[in-house]
Structure 1
Amino acid sequence: MSDFELVFGTTPFVSLGITLILGGGCAVMTGRALALNWRPDWQFVAYGFLLAIADRFLVFALFQGELFSLSGYLADALALIVIAAVAFRVTRARQMVRQYPWAYRRFGPFGWRER
């Protein structure tokens, strides 16, 4: 058993596949949905922790990973929260500029400025 498996409860390929590809896609959809429905930005943190629970269960159920790995759960949660935050911010910036074109202009991929 490698050091990675001892700390995160699964192999790097399983962690990469489940967390970043499957869970990351869910996190992107979560961030976009929260932004499009004008939800506050702190909510993607709560949803990121919930997605990490589902991610740990999938690793356990499909690949015999460790279910109750605190470090694995926290790493998964951090990755999913960051992905959801990026999706939220990109969507919110696009939304602000598109909905209020007289008041704001785009400033990079994550922000907007007053005109």
Structure 2
Amino acid sequence: MTEILGSSLGVFIGLTVVLAGGCGFMMGQAIAATWRPYWNVIPYSLLLAASERFLAYALFKEQLLALIPFLVSAAVIFGLATLGFRLTLVDLMVHQYPWLYERTGLFGWRSKQQVP
């Protein structure tokens, strides 16, 4: 398990999921709130995963240049950043254009029906 996560389960949950994942979620919200395109999530997630691996190395004496733990961290951060991006984008579309769009669940919106 430590070969995949790069650390113990507690360190992975605390550092990767809670700290870096929370930052990734806020990063996705910030990207959506400034109307930037979705592909901006990818490079920022990789940078945040690299900084998370450095914190794991500096604080918990983990291996710095380990590919599999980096990819796992990047996937967790990317997933939470995508969640934040989508939730914020739906909220923006529904609240800024209430005459055009209505919410269709947590992750989507649709055009309102035009009344003749």
**TM-score (norm: length of structure 2):** 0.93
What is the total number of aligned residue pairs between the two structures? 112
Taking the aligned partners of 2:3 and 2:72, their CA distance within structure 1 comes to: 13
User: What percentage of aligned pairs have identical amino acids?
Assistant: 42
1:36 aligns with 2:57: no
Taking the aligned partners of 2:47 and 2:24, their CA distance within structure 1 comes to: 10
1:12 aligns with 2:9: yes
Structure 1 position 10, deviation (Å) = 1.3
Report the equivalent of 1:107. Answer: 104
Check whether the contact 2:28–2:82 (CA below 8 A) recurs between aligned residues: yes
Check whether the contact 2:24–2:81 (CA below 8 A) recurs between aligned residues: yes
Q: Detail structure 1 runs of 4+ shifted over 3 Å in the superposition.
A: none
Root mean square deviation, CA, Å:
0.8
Deviates more, 1:4-13 or 1:49-58: 4-13
Taking the aligned partners of 2:104 and 2:66, their CA distance within structure 1 comes to: 40
Taking the aligned partners of 2:26 and 2:4, their CA distance within structure 1 comes to: 28
In our comparison, the structure showing a higher alpha carbon Rg is 2
Taking the aligned partners of 2:10 and 2:27, their CA distance within structure 1 comes to: 24
Look up the SS of the partner of 1:42 in the other structure.
helix
Look up the SS of the partner of 1:68 in the other structure.
coil
2:20 is matched with which residue: 20, 23, 27?
Answer: 23
Report the equivalent of 1:84. Answer: 81
